[in-house]
A and B are shown apart, each in its own frame.
Chain A
Amino acid sequence: MPHAITRRGLGAMMGAVVAVPVIGRTAAAADTTALEAAARKEGSLTWYTAHTDGETAEQVGRAFTARYPGITVNVIRTTAQVAYQRLLQDIKNNSAQCDVFSSTDPGHDEALKARKLLAHYVPLAASVVSEPFRGVDPDGFYYATSAGLVLITYNTSKLRAEDVPKNWPDLLLPKYKDQVSVGHPAFSGYVGTWVLAMRKLYGWEYFEKLEKNKPQIGRSVNDTVTMLNSGERLVAAGPSGTTLSSADKGNPLALVYPTDGAVLLVSPSAIMANAPHPNAARLFMEFMLGEEHAKISVEKRNESLRPEVKPLAGAKPLEEAKVIRLSVAEISKGIPEVIEQWRDTFGT
């Protein structure tokens, strides 16, 4: 086993060396022609992703193939934990499957980076994304390629306008007893990060008070959408994307951008050091930071990474909302802590 890791470490370093000429060319001309040619020789890439639902992931894959004919994307869409667990098994078994790894939890990328399993690559497009998405990894191993918000969501047909909460402490009011829906930090990175942000703003007492309102605890942050739609619960700490998609169909849902801040989650993507298709992987990273991908994201109600692509109705551009973004280090360190605290407070 130690041998394998050493070998892979070497691979990562070689990856870094190979990447240098590409960066050199960036300065001269932002052009991916050489990369395209090399990628086309590889013909395909495998993408482990937890960023979106399966349909959207397939759509992104197809859009990439349409832009670069001859390069297909094998999409393996799972939840972040399953994707990561699978990747660890691949690594353990010494079988290189994955080219681009897109988790929703930057902690995964940090762990992989520490084990020298990620390839160093600076995409040409990394410098033109909107400000909140730059420099997620100062070392340049992974990049934000998708983003969403956790904010207050509610059922518009059951909650009277004057009862709509304005900020996070409003959820603690007695009038929301038995009416709040949340996910579980151990099952959802979105929920974990939200819990961490609340702890940072208001201390753990926030959740001790929340428990007095007997919130409904699901797993995924998207479970709140189901709970609001069914009328089982009226308000939630919910996701922007899924809630708006469901509202687009006509469901009675809407967002509140809390005055004390919506929690921004950036989901990173990275190229594996032992990627079987390294050039196709790089080209795909460029694509994910590009305008076309931003348009797909906005349509699917995720946040736009590019300043020139604006969100559709019902959502605000990030510049107009108060946003809380935690650092990767805070998240990596904090989430295991809050999971334990959560279990002590809520018993599950």
Chain B
Amino acid sequence: MKRRFDPLILLWIVLAAALTFLVVNPLLRLIITSLEAADTGAWTLANYVSAYGRPRYLQALYNSLMLGGAVTVLCLVFALPIAWAVSRTDMPGKGAIRLLVLGAFITPPYLGAIGWILLAGPNAGWLNRAWMGLTGATEGLFDIYSFAGLTFIIAIYSFPYLFIFTSSALDVVSSEMEDAANILGAGTIRTMARITLPMVLPAIIGGAIVTFLETIALFGSPALIAIPARFNVVTTQLLQFFSPPVRTEVAAAFAIPLLLITVLLFALQRRLISRKGFVAVTGKGGERRLIELGPWRWVMLGYAFLVLSMSVLLPYAALSQAALSRAWGRGWRLDNLTLHNFSYLLFEHATAGRSVLNSFVYAFSAACLAIFLSLAIAYIVARRLLPFAGVLGFLAMAPFVVPGIVLAIAFYAAYAPPPLALYGTGLILILAFTTRFLPIGFANASAAIRGINPEMEEAVRILGGGRLLAVRRVLAPLMKRSMIGAWLLVFIPATRELSTAMFLYGPNTRTMSVMLMDLSEEGNFENLAALGFMLLAATIVIVGVGSRLVGGDFMMRRDRS
């Protein structure tokens, strides 16, 4: 079959080497650590016994799985209707809705959780006080310190993953099949449920898996909510293994089953997807028309607005009180208003400006690296170009279930000491972020590639063009928009990444997320809230400028209707 040396082999080797460096080596160290006795280094299973020998620890794992499931369901409820309405219908105000989704996505879940503590704290939360004032009730309506509260707080900041996955897939589906369904008598809802959404099922499943895994690996919000709510999840439990007596090896053992869960999820995904064809973009031109919703478009807008006010408008309103106060404990008062928190952070604070810059530089580099890698891997996997391509795919997804703090430790152990001596450099953060978010890039890239019929590339090749030409002139233009989306999907969470950075930053490489955490632990709420607003503004500007530069696509694009 092979007539000459295929340059793709070389690419495979390069990719395999990159994945070995970024994923295999750190994870291998993790596995080895989990099987070693801490002081002697002898092989043992004792760590697994310690990690899973107590009901309390097992309960934490169970809680995490339940939390992941509940958040994923809630995210589907939030994301799918909004994505459908924005991509396929004539709902008004799409620009504003996209901007608000971006706002939700930029917000570090940690910051949002603080906003919601102010809104729904059982005694003094704004919403609860309003409720008690209106009804004369003695108890508030909401208690954010609960399993339901935590699920809600995570979901309102995680649903953008599913929104972006789904809407970028919906954007390239043509209207023909929907038209066919309409002609055969199906109504709008039925067409959406039976035709449109199933066509983008790979994207939905990819997004759901990312949401689930992101949820069980999250540290910040569970630390804020779960501990007062008196339950543990995997990440808060992991942190306890790092309290004295520190048991890294038990922590490693505790984290390993999460890897098995990823394997399972991907087997499941494969089963769900393989039975059907999901090729939506073909070489034959298709037409896209917006569905007219009539008065229902206002209902859809109302729903989108409700969800987004919960994730953006309300919490930032609560945080603005602290950001604009001299002393936020005194409440809204004229003599308490100040802009000093902002000017202090911008001009007086020794490290604030630097950490803002660091965050963006590292996130930018990590996003570029991760997208390049995941595109190449996704293409090889989807077109089955080389043997063992599936292995690359699995490796690209594996890092996601490793909680950030464990990944950080694996990285620290692997690359901080000589010969590489990356400790305290920006590079180790960039590499760790790349690894951490590679799965997002990969899931998105492979969903996008799966949706494109190979016939167009085959046409190029029949006409004498090489594969690289086909990729450059056909695939790249078709995928441009979803790749910008994927780039942002890595860039944005990297700017807000906390659990990895917490362990890897050095004297000159502190990131904004670490600083937010520091300010919170110092009880310095006024500056914390102000920094949150600066983060929001800076990211919106950067994403806006970036999107304009590459053609006004994705989040910031104008409403076309």
Answer whether residue A119 sits at the interface, using C-beta atoms and an 8 A cutoff.
no
Contact A95 B349 (CB under 8 A): no
> How many angstroms between the C-alpha atoms of A348 and B145 in the bound complex?
13
The listed residue with most A CB atoms (<10 A of its CB), out of B145, B243, B409, B503, is B243
Question: Given A93-B416, A222-B523, does the pair A217, B124 have CB atoms closer than 8 Å?
Answer: no
Contact B523 A58 (CB under 8 A): no
30 A–B contacts from the bound complex (CB under 8 Å):
A53-B524, A54-B510, A54-B515, A55-B350, A55-B351, A74-B506, A79-B521, A82-B502, A85-B242, A88-B246, A93-B413, A94-B417, A95-B423, A105-B244, A157-B329, A220-B521, A220-B523, A229-B525, A232-B122, A232-B123, A243-B523, A249-B327, A249-B526, A250-B327, A250-B336, A253-B329, A348-B227, A348-B229, A348-B230, A348-B232
Answer whether residue B121 sits at the interface, using C-beta atoms and an 8 A cutoff.
yes
Q: Which residues of B contact A222 (CB under 8 A)?
A: 521-523
Instruction: Give B409-444 interface residues, CB cut-off 8 Å to A.
Output: 409, 412-413, 416-418, 421, 423-424
> How would residues 224 to 263 of chain A score, 1 for a CB under 8 Å from any chain B CB and 0 otherwise?
1110111111000000001101100111110000000000
Answer whether residue A132 sits at the interface, using C-beta atoms and an 8 A cutoff.
no
> How many angstroms between the C-alpha atoms of A251 and B321 in the bound complex?
13
Question: Given A58-B350, A217-B230, does the pair A157, B244 have CB atoms closer than 8 Å?
Answer: no
- Given contacts A54-B518, A348-B230, list 14 more A-B pairs with CB under 8 A: A76-B506, A79-B521, A86-B412, A88-B246, A89-B416, A108-B244, A178-B122, A218-B227, A225-B525, A226-B520, A230-B121, A245-B524, A253-B329, A348-B226
Answer whether residue B228 sits at the interface, using C-beta atoms and an 8 A cutoff.
yes
User: Of B227, B245, B523, B526, which one neighbours A242 at CB under 8 angstroms?
Assistant: B523
Answer whether residue A125 sits at the interface, using C-beta atoms and an 8 A cutoff.
no
Q: Which residues of B contact A224 (CB under 8 A)?
A: 523
> How would residues 68 to 100 of chain A score, 1 for a CB under 8 Å from any chain B CB and 0 otherwise?
000000111111011011101110111101000
User: Of B227, B329, B502, which one neighbours A246 at CB under 8 angstroms?
Assistant: B329
Answer whether residue A269 sits at the interface, using C-beta atoms and an 8 A cutoff.
no
> How would residues 53 to 69 of chain B score, 1 for a CB under 8 Å from any chain A CB and 0 otherwise?
00010000000000000
Closest to B144 in A: A232
Contact B503 A82 (CB under 8 A): yes
Q: Which residues of A contact B525 (CB under 8 A)?
A: 225-226, 229, 246
Contact B223 A246 (CB under 8 A): no
Q: Which residues of B contact A210 (CB under 8 A)?
A: none
Q: Which residues of A contact B401 (CB under 8 A)?
A: none
Instruction: Give A20-71 interface residues, CB cut-off 8 Å to B.
Output: 46, 53-55, 58-59, 62
Contact A55 B349 (CB under 8 A): yes
User: Of B56, B326, B328, B524, which one neighbours A343 at CB under 8 angstroms?
Assistant: B56
> How many angstroms between the C-alpha atoms of A343 and B226 in the bound complex?
14
Q: Which residues of A contact B349 (CB under 8 A)?
A: 55
- Please give me the 5 A-B residue pairs with the lowest Cβ-Cβ distance, nearest first: A250-B327, A225-B523, A229-B329, A93-B417, A231-B124
Q: Which residues of B contact A178 (CB under 8 A)?
A: 122-123
The total of chain B residues at the interface (CB under 8 A) is: 59
Q: Which residues of B contact A336 (CB under 8 A)?
A: 244-245
Q: Which residues of A contact B518 (CB under 8 A)?
A: 53-54, 77
Instruction: Give B486-516 interface residues, CB cut-off 8 Å to A.
Output: 502-503, 506-507, 510, 515
> How would residues 161 to 194 of chain A score, 1 for a CB under 8 Å from any chain B CB and 0 otherwise?
0000000000000000011000010110000000
> How many angstroms between the C-alpha atoms of A222 and B528 in the bound complex?
14
> How would residues 196 to 239 of chain A score, 1 for a CB under 8 Å from any chain B CB and 0 otherwise?
00000000000000000000111110111110111111000000
> How many angstroms between the C-alpha atoms of A335 and B245 in the bound complex?
10
Closest to B232 in A: A348
Q: Which residues of A contact B524 (CB under 8 A)?
A: 53, 245-246
Q: Which residues of B contact A307 (CB under 8 A)?
A: none
Q: Which residues of A contact B240 (CB under 8 A)?
A: 186
Q: Which residues of B contact A102 (CB under 8 A)?
A: none
Answer whether residue B100 sits at the interface, using C-beta atoms and an 8 A cutoff.
no
Instruction: Give B208-266 interface residues, CB cut-off 8 Å to A.
Output: 223, 226-232, 239-240, 242-246, 248
Answer whether residue B295 sits at the interface, using C-beta atoms and an 8 A cutoff.
no
Q: Which residues of A contact B412 (CB under 8 A)?
A: 86, 89
Answer whether residue B330 sits at the interface, using C-beta atoms and an 8 A cutoff.
yes
Answer whether residue A107 sits at the interface, using C-beta atoms and an 8 A cutoff.
yes
Answer whether residue A347 sits at the interface, using C-beta atoms and an 8 A cutoff.
yes
Closest to A79 in B: B521
Q: Which residues of B contact A95 (CB under 8 A)?
A: 416-418, 421, 423
> How would residues 513 to 554 of chain B score, 1 for a CB under 8 Å from any chain A CB and 0 otherwise?
001001111111110000000000000000000000000000
Answer whether residue A155 sits at the interface, using C-beta atoms and an 8 A cutoff.
yes
Q: Which residues of A contact B228 (CB under 8 A)?
A: 216-218, 348
Answer whether residue B117 sits at the interface, using C-beta atoms and an 8 A cutoff.
yes
Number of interchain pairs (Cβ within 8 Å): 159
Contact A155 B329 (CB under 8 A): yes
> How many angstroms between the C-alpha atoms of A76 and B416 in the bound complex?
15
Instruction: Give B319-354 interface residues, CB cut-off 8 Å to A.
Output: 326-330, 336, 349-351
Q: Which residues of A contact B145 (CB under 8 A)?
A: 216
User: Of A58, A245, A347, which one neighbours B351 at CB under 8 angstroms?
Assistant: A58
Closest to A46 in B: B507
- Least Cβ–Cβ distance between B365 and chain A, in angstroms: 22
Q: Which residues of B contact A217 (CB under 8 A)?
A: 227-228, 230
Closest to A111 in B: B244
> How many angstroms between the C-alpha atoms of A86 and B121 in the bound complex?
35
Q: Which residues of B contact A59 (CB under 8 A)?
A: 350
> How many angstroms between the C-alpha atoms of A347 and B510 in the bound complex?
34
Q: Which residues of A contact B246 (CB under 8 A)?
A: 81, 84-85, 88
Contact A249 B326 (CB under 8 A): yes
Closest to B327 in A: A250
- Least Cβ–Cβ distance between A49 and chain B, in angstroms: 11
> How many angstroms between the C-alpha atoms of A233 and B329 in the bound complex?
12
Closest to A53 in B: B522
> How many angstroms between the C-alpha atoms of A66 and B337 in the bound complex?
35
> How many angstroms between the C-alpha atoms of A93 and B522 in the bound complex?
31
Contact B328 A251 (CB under 8 A): yes
Closest to A222 in B: B523
> How many angstroms between the C-alpha atoms of A78 and B506 in the bound complex?
10
Contact A246 B123 (CB under 8 A): no
Contact A252 B330 (CB under 8 A): yes
